[in-house]
Structure 1
Amino acid sequence: MARPIKKGLDYFPLNTNIESNDKMQLIESEFGSKGFAIVVKLFCKIYAENGYYYPWTEEKKLLFAKKTGESVGLVDEIVKRSVKWGIFDEFVFNQFHVLTSKGIQSRFLEAVTRRGKVEILSELLLIDINVYKNAVNVNINSVNDDNSTQSKVNKSKVNKSNGAESPDGESSDIIISDEKKPTPPDEPKEKNNKIEKIDFVKLLQIINQNTGRNFQVINENTRKKFRARLKDGYTKETILTAIKNAPKTDYHKNNNCQYLTPEFFSRADSLDKYGNKTKVTEVKTVNTETPVGVWNV
């Protein structure tokens, strides 16, 4: 029986100045050391399993969060912000729910030059493989990632090498597969497809009242994050508790609550940190004429 073809890597290069990278600093500024650690662990997953990509499906998301010991909401938020800041390719992520990048693909192909054959899914390809002299134009039988059965794929047009060899003298082909990347299954829908509504006008009033700020609007991106937190299992009560508790901490008092924005309270890590200290059963009114209550929606 033939030995299964190895996909991933046993190790990968990590620059010693990665902490100085602007993209990583943006993640750290939002999520602290947890954000940095999650991204590095994602790199490990990518290089170890498939070599150059990692499908971010519901199943993978849950298993990854369990292994890291962090909440699913926090991990998913870090991934989304990593895509936003360009650590992972935004187009591929939005189209296929897959984590990859030009840098990841380049480092992977440089690391596997000694292998006999390397298969790359054309749907995910972000770099010009013509710079690699061992790229050839062939028909192949590829291994389907989902069920480990072989399926026929069409050939993809790339430049043909003239018997290029790796440094050890072995022929090494990079194969571009036209096999379509399976679209991840839709996430489970809520019963009756009912999504809990949020009164963002009242929510903004509560944030301004507790922080002493004067925000005028909650933008659409932040609204989507609040809705996502409810889907993740956080409750309105938890969000209200976080809004009430965060301004009372010495850190935010000393900084005049300048970091307590609507977007701050839409993050999973903020709700984990400030949303479970005390239970809020009532929120003071903005004025004596208009009661706010606990989001009368």
Structure 2
Amino acid sequence: MPRPKKNGLDYFPLDVDFLDDPKIKILKARYGRDGIVFYIYLLCEIYKQGYYLQVDDDFEYIISDDLKIDQNKAKQVLNFLLSRSLFDNKLFQSDKVLTSAGIQKRFQLAVKERARKNPIEVGRYWLLKKNDTEPFIKCTHFRDLSEKKESYSGNNDCNSTEKSLKKSKVKNINNILGFSPELEQAFQMYILVRSSNYGAMIPEQIQALREDLIKLSDKEEERIAIVKKATAGGWKSFYKTTTSEKKRKTTVRNNNNFERRRYDMDDLESKLLGR
């Protein structure tokens, strides 16, 4: 009977200067030993499965019970790891998958000997580019992209094709909503801070926030100010920057049948002073 195919690892390498990494230093400073243990626990779970771990809504309950860590603290540590790119935040937001390019590089090294005889097949959660992927790693994602490339002769290599399609899609959405590069940058910073404070967001929630922001103002400068103020205040939603602006607009709307008079301020000041 053939031996069952093994996907995960029995052990994984941990650099001797692991604790010297600035990100790990900050993790320890903010969350103490619980933060370090939490991160290593996740690495063990990931490498046990292979190069990624897909979680569900019960995951935080399980890990907090296993490590005897408060659930709120577990959520905070996970958000920190995502915000510092110790795990890929985009993949977690879209598919609840925990992995990173660094994790996958170490996975390649660990499976090198056994994969030479039996190449390992990986799929769409593979983050490394084709040039960084070892020959014994067969990525179906690359193959799919190559097929797309053949059908679109004007595109570059498979990775560039996928990247350009994603950028084009995001750009079209932003153009429809009126998001400039400066506003988009401020918005992404807000999402990062909000996720750190209140937990990860699903794409539908992020889209709803974009639409709320558009409704609050039709001016680019005011939208940016609203986002920056919400970021600085750690708010869960967007609000108008001032009530006076809203009051002023209401007054103008109520009196839009009258022509607004223009005043010479120097002339008024002279009359008041009796000059």
Greater fraction of residues in helix: 2
- TM, length-normalised to structure 1: 0.46
